[in-house]
Each structure stands twice: as C-alpha cells, then as structure tokens.
A and B are shown apart, each in its own frame.
Chain A
Amino acid sequence: MSVKIFIPCDMAALSVGADAVAKAVEREIQERRLDAVVVRNGSRGMFWLEPLLEVETPKGRVAYGPMTPDAVPSLFEAGLLDGKQHALCLGLTEEIPYLKNQERLTFARCGIVDPLSLSDYISRDGYKGLQNALKMSAEKIVEEVTNSGLRGRGGAGFPTGIKWNTVLKAQGSQKYIVCNADEGDSGTFADRMIMEGDPFVLIEGMTIAGFAVGATQGYIYCRSEYPHAVKTLRRAISIAYENGYLGDNAAGSGKTFDLEVRMGAGAYICGEETSLLESLEGRRGQIRPKPPLPAIEGLFGKPTVVNNVISLATVPIILDKGADHYKNFGMGRSRGTLTIQLAGNIKYGGLVEKAFGLTLRQAIYDFGGGTATGKNLRAVQVGGPLGAYFPEKLLDTPLDYEAFAAKKGLVGHGGVVVFDETVNLAKQARFAMEFCAEESCGKCTPCRIGSTRGVETIDRIIKNEDRTKNLEVLNDLCEVMLDGSLCALGGLTPYPVLSAVEHFPEDFHGTTA
C-alpha cells in the first residue's frame, strides 16, 4: 500500500505556502518513483508549525514542520517515508504536547482525515451519532442534547437542547435548521477549521438536528470571507447526497433532509441570528426585535433552529458517546469542551480544545507560550470585538461562561487575542466604537448613533479636551448602549470600551497616550 503523506489544505496552512510544499512533495515522489500519495487534510490547529507535513508510519503519524518547499528534497534524503530524523522532525504528531494535552471531542477528526473522504469519516466514528439517533424518538434526541449540557458555542451560551425543544414543540408546516457560520469575531477560526477540515461532522450534526425537531431543510450561512470553507462544504454536501446521507430517505431514515450553503456578503451583523435570517431571506441584514424568537417564527416565518457551527458539529459525538460522556467534561454550568482559539500576538497560536475551566493564563502560557514578539503581555481580548480587554491581573479567570461574566467579560466564541506592551488601549477602545459604527445595521439608535458619538468622544479624550467630562460622557453613552440596544452589537460594544477605561486608565489620562 502506498505511504500516505499529509499536507493540510486548510486556509491558514495555504496562507503560509502549503500548496507549494505539496507540489514539491509530489515532484519528489515522481522523480524518485516512490510508492507514496499526498493527502490534503485539514489542519491540526498548530499554526506556528504550518505548513505541517505528516507521514503515516507503523508507529503512527510523524510530523515535520514548519515546512518550506526548499526543505522537501532533504526530507526525502533523510528517509521521510520511514519517518526518519530530520532537523524539522517533530516526532509523533500525537505526542506533541500542544495536541496531547487537549481533549478533542468536536475536533476528534480534524487534521486527521481527508475532509472530502466519506470513507475516512465513517471509519473514524462518523455517522455513529446519527445511527443512534435513528433508533430514538425526536423527544429522546432532544433530551440527550439537553442532558449533555451543550450550550451555544457562537457566544451567547444558550442551552442548545432547550432551543431544540422549543422548535420541536412549535407548530409549523415547515421547519428549518440554520447553521450560523458567520464567524466574524477577530481571533476566531474554529468554525472555519471544522468546515474545511471535517465538513461531514457538521452535515451529520445538522441532519440529527433536523430529525430531532422535524425540519426537512437546512441552510449553512457561511461568511464570504471564507471561500475555502464554502467550497469544501459544497463539495461535501454533494458527496453526502450522492451517498444517500442527504435528501429523501436521508441515511436510510425514511425522512427527508436537504442542505444548502448560502454565502454572506461581508456584514458582521449577520452573525446575529435574526440579521442572519433576514439576510437568508434576501434582505438587508437588519435585526428583528425579539420576541418572536426564531424558534417560533424564524426563517420565512417558520420555526427555526439557529445554531453555531461548533454547537452543531458537537451533536454527533454527544449522540455517539452519550450525554454523560460529554457532560463529564467541564466545570459549573459550562459543560463539555471549549474550542479556545489562541490568536494575535502569541508564540504558539492555534486551536486548543479543552474542557471548560482552564484558566486564561494556562491557555496563553502553557499552550500559547506567551507573546510572539517576546515582549510583556499587556492585554487580552477574549470573545471577539465585543469582548472585554483583560489585564494581566485577571489572567487567572477560568474559561467558563459564568466566571467570565463575573469579571465583566465574555467567553463568546472562544477567541483569545493577545496584545503585548506596545498596545494602546485608548486606541483599541476607539476601534471598538469605530467597528460598531461601521457594522451597525442601523435599526436602533443607541448602536447607530452611539457608536459614532463614541468615536468622537474617545478622540476628544485622547486629545485631552475636557478629559474628565468626556470620560463621564463616554460612561453615560456606554450605559445607554448597554441597556438600550436591540442586539449584542450595540449592547456589548461597551465591554471592550469600559474594560479598557477601567483596567488601563493610564492610556486615557495622557500618561502614555
């Protein structure tokens, strides 16, 4: 049998030259007439090692990286096909501490399988969850998801099972499953990685959701900034159709489940579920006031489950291994695993799937190795552009929904963006307001006007015009936005702003600005 050499087709790996490495490897295989094939897998999520090359050996996969096309010939000279030593050799992939110390449930296959190989998927426990679900009543599936303690991984942390139950009980001639793949938060890439690296797990999760609530149509609303994910998903969906896993009698269930990918168009607000639904219906992505909840009146006015990619991609393992297995990971009311994404100014950036409860410090230092620049860490923004800026003294906060809320922060979608000592928090606060102004849908006044006034006010503070008074104005403005906005964009933009003022006052008082 041919020896398998794995080189990721993940967008991040491509961004540092994975295609050129793959080409060089193909060339060597040909010139040396070797019995080996190149498999394009997803990423393992150790991005400082990308492009990562792995070779399958009897002992397991051996990793080499970060690769360059120039290093490829010497790799073959050294005996790549037998996993021999080389300056870039990292040993057995599974033994790399960054990976070994994780608890990969949702990402169990990502980076291991060929994303578009259904047989790879099935041979590694794929569609086991669905097979179990087929033996269960709809109510029982929903109960299992509820018991697992799974909460919405998009950021809001709403219990997935409770949402499903509402849709199950709702009356409607048609129901929908909508996957929110509008992963717009800076510092996040978990959705993208799973869509590019293990798309069938999302398809399986959505199919289970469809059977659980009685929905026959699903849509994946993926942002246009992710063209690679869109392409992979579309191909995976057509493979699933060809093999009877989608469509009429999906997976031999006797039930119908159809699935389609729709592309966003560069609007951050469309990550908000009601905006997303408006966009899917073909309109401006303006938010809808709630109630009615999308679970009652969602897409085209019908009962709709709107779940994040990671939430849906976690459903198969819950149905496969059982609610208890999943629930046994985590702390407090945050059950299961969190897909932490280490980003920004960090030495070892990547994806860390770990039970809830790891502290921010452990994530940044034990996994991330501190800043990339080697300078002192000064601030960390967790949870995307609407997340608070935490100073060093809050790094011992455990990654848990409630623990973060208690410190006026949010876990959100699990993105961790590290800044070194060169950061200016007045500038970051200004950016938060600027971003809100840029991305506001315009529906409600606190967000639409407040964000623009926020930029102006912070500019005055930076210029030292009536600084004390303007800081008061900024506080008032944030209060109005927090309490008066219709959705999380206006409602949470004060988080980064107020946390910057609270924890880094020196940046607003002209001592460093």
Chain B
Amino acid sequence: MQVWNQERAVTIVQQLKELPGALLPILHALQEEFGYVDHSVVPAIADALNISKAEVHGTISFYHDFRHAPPGQHILKMCRAEACQSMGCDAVIEHVENRLGAKLGETTADGNFTLDAVYCLGNCALSPAAMLDGKPYGRVSTQVADFLIDDATRRGGQRG
C-alpha cells in the first residue's frame, strides 16, 4: 500500500474518467492503490467527470467500502449477519473487540488492525465467517480469531 500521492491519484482519475459511470471504478482504484480515498482528490474527480464536488463527496460517503483515512496494517472484516449470528458471531466479535481494544469500524491505537463489520461474505454454511487482508476464513471461533490476530501480528507490516 502506497502513501497518498496526489499526482498519482490524479493520473488514476484521468486514466479511468472515460468509462461509462466512471465514479465507482475511480474510487475503487484509488482505494486499491492507497487504502483510502483522500478528501483532497474530490475536486479533481469532480472536474474530470464534470459533476459537482458535493456529488463526489456524497457518493464516497454513501458506500461503506470507501475509507476517509488510511486503514491499519491489517484489515479484519467480521460478518455479523444472521447466518453468522446463528453460530455465535456476536460473542466472537465481542472477544475480538476486547482483545484489540477497538470496536467495529475502528482502527487500533497502534495502527496494526482495522476491524470492520461486514454483512455477509457468502460463506454462510461455514459460519462465523471473517476475512483478513482479503483472505477468507470459516468457522471462526474465538480461538481461530486469536490465532489469526497473533499470526498477522507476527507477520507484521506486509498485508496479504
């Protein structure tokens, strides 16, 4: 993941602006590159797509995916939808929140983990489900969650 680079960001915007309905592909590409969408890019997007800054901002804020600030080193997404609830995801999430000292939607103080809620990963026959740095995990008990966190901590910086 690169640190935000306005010049690079503007290049991405320019590369994708001709796509029909280009805004989401642009936002995804920016987040893929930098881990978040910095507010400073809003005018450039608005300009490239000939829409208002308010429309760009409104779109960014509408979708759960787009981050406004850099995430932690590791991103742990935990499903809290019904199928996972039926297998006790609430207790696992609570355990992880306590362990990390961060609530769903927050990043730990040391910047190691961002903990996110997700509503269904499509792994509902192996609930509770989670995703760590893009890798799926099933039957995530508190023990499995601990293992994943320990393992990611040991691996350190590099995601994925």
State the A residues within 8 Å of B (CB): 11-12, 14-16, 47-48, 50, 183-189, 191-192, 224-228, 262-268, 279-286, 300, 341-346, 349-350, 372, 381, 385, 415, 417-420, 423, 428, 431, 435, 438-439, 441
Inside 8 A of B62's CB, which chain A residues have their CB? 267, 284-286, 441
For the A-B complex with A12-B126, A265-B65 known, give 5 more contacts whose Cβ atoms are closer than 8 Å.
A47-B125, A186-B84, A283-B55, A283-B59, A415-B83
Q: A226-B122, A341-B125 are in contact. Are A265 and B24 (CB under 8 A)?
A: yes
Decide if B136 touches A344 in the complex (CB within 8 Å). no
Within 8 A of A (CB), among B101-120: 118-120
Report the separation of the CA atoms of residues A184 and B64 in the bound assembly, to the nearest whole angstrom: 13
Q: Are A15 and B129 in contact, CB atoms less than 8 angstroms apart?
A: yes
Whole-angstrom distance between the Cβ of A278 and the nearest chain B Cβ:
9
Binds A, one of B1-9, B15-23, B92-100: B15-23
**B82 and A16 contacting across the interface, CB-CB below 8 Å:** no
Q: Is the CB of A16 within 8 A of B21?
A: no
Q: Give me 30 A-to-B residue pairs in the complex whose CB atoms sit less than 8 angstroms apart, sorted by A's number.
A: A12-B122, A12-B125, A12-B126, A15-B136, A16-B138, A186-B79, A187-B81, A189-B125, A224-B65, A225-B121, A226-B122, A262-B21, A264-B63, A264-B65, A265-B27, A265-B28, A267-B62, A280-B24, A283-B23, A285-B62, A300-B21, A343-B124, A344-B86, A349-B126, A385-B81, A415-B124, A417-B86, A419-B86, A420-B86, A428-B82
Give A349 to B25 CA distance when docked, in angstroms: 35
Q: Do A344 and B82 touch (CB < 8 A)? A: yes
- B27-57 CB contact bits vs A (8 Å, 1 = yes)? 1100000000000000000000100000100
A372 vs B125: C-alpha distance in the bound complex, in angstroms? 10
If A184-B119, A381-B82 touch, does A14 touch B21 (CB 8 Å cutoff)?
no
Where chain B touches its partner, the secondary structure class is loop
Of the candidates B24, B59, B124, B136, the one whose C-beta lies within 8 Å of that of A186 is: B124
Q: Hey, what's the 0/1 contact readout for B51-77 against A, CB within 8 Å counting as 1?
A: 000010011001111100000000000
User: Which residues does chain A contribute within 8 Å of B58, judged by CB atoms?
Assistant: 284
CB <8 Å contact, B124 and A341? yes
Q: Which residues of B contact A419 (CB under 8 A)?
A: 86
How far is the CB of B141 from the nearest CB of chain A, in Å?
13
Question: Does B157 interact with chain A (Cβ within 8 Å)?
Answer: no
Q: Which residues of B contact A262 (CB under 8 A)?
A: 21, 24-25
A225 and B82 form a contact (CB under 8 A): no
- Tell me the complex Cα distance, A15–B85, Å: 18
CA distance A343 to B118 in the complex (A): 17
Q: How far is the CA of A347 from the CA of B121 in the complex (A)?
A: 19
Residues on the B chain within 8 Å of A47, using CB: 125-126, 138
Interface centre among A184, A192, A228, A343 (most CB of B within 10 A): A343
Asked whether, in the complex, the Cβ of B122 is within 8 Å of the Cβ of A16, the reply is no
CB distance from A307 to the nearest CB of B (A): 19
| CB neighbours of A285 from chain B (8 A) | 62-63
Q: Could you say which of B22, B23, B65, B125 contacts A343, with CB atoms under 8 Å apart?
A: B125
B27 CB, nearest partner CB in chain A, Å: 7
Which among A15, A263, A283, A285 has the greatest number of chain B C-beta atoms within 10 A?
A: A15
Q: Which residue of A lies closest to B81 (CB)?
A: A186
Check if A189 sits within 8 Å of B124, measured CB to CB.
Answer: yes
The complex places the Cα of A342 from the Cα of B83 at a distance, in Å, of 10
The distance in angstroms between the C-alpha atoms of A438 and B22, with both chains bound, is 26
The answer to whether B49 and A282 have CB atoms under 8 Å apart is yes
* A346 pairs with B125, CB closer than 8 A: yes
- Is B156 in contact with chain A by the CB < 8 A criterion? no
Instruction: State in angstroms the CA–CA spacing of A187 and B28 once bound together.
Output: 26
Interface pair B136/A12, CB less than 8 Å apart: yes
> How far is it, in angstroms, between the C-alpha of A281 and the C-alpha of B87 when the chains are bound?
38
Complex contacts, B83 vs chain A, CB 8 Å:
186-187, 343-344, 415, 417
Give B38 Cβ to nearest chain A Cβ, in Å: 17
* Residue of B with least CB distance to A184: B120
Check A268–B25 contact: CB distance below 8 A.
no
**B79: A residues at CB distance < 8 A:** 186
Q: Which residues of chain B have C-beta atoms less than 8 A from A264's C-beta? A: 24, 63, 65
Select one of A184, A265, A346, A418 contacting B66, CB under 8 A: A265
Query: In the complex, which residues of chain B have a beta carbon less than 8 angstroms from the beta carbon of A192?
Result: 122
In the complex, the answer to whether B24 meets A16 with C-beta atoms within 8 Å is no
Q: Which 9 A-B pairs have the closest CB atoms?
A: A349-B125, A282-B23, A186-B81, A343-B124, A266-B64, A265-B63, A344-B86, A15-B138, A47-B125
Also in contact, A14 and B87, with CB within 8 A (given A225-B120, A282-B24) = no
Whether B87 contacts A345 by the Cβ 8 Å rule is: yes
| Residue B135 at the chain A interface, CB threshold 8 Å | yes
Nearest CB in chain B to that of A225: its residue = B121
Contact residues in A for B84 (Cβ distance below 8 Å):
186, 344
Chain A minimum-CB-distance residue to B136: A15
Expressed in whole angstroms, the minimum distance between the Cβ of A19 and any Cβ of chain B is 9
Query: Given A186-B81, A225-B118, A285-B63, does the pair A11, B136 have CB atoms closer than 8 Å?
Result: yes
B81 and A282 within 8 A (CB): no
Complex Cα spacing A187 to B124, Å:
5
In the docked arrangement, what's the CA distance between A300 and B20, Å? 9
Report if A188-B65 is in contact (Cβ < 8 Å); known contacts: A14-B136, A16-B138, A300-B20: no
Closest B residue, CB atoms, query A270: B63
Docked complex Cα distance between A419 and B124 (Å): 13
Interface centre among B58, B119, B134 (most CB of A within 10 A): B119
Report whether A282 and B124 are in contact in the complex, using a CB–CB cutoff of 8 Å. no
Given that A184-B119, A265-B28, A268-B119 are known contacts, is A280 also in contact with B21, CB under 8 Å in the complex? yes
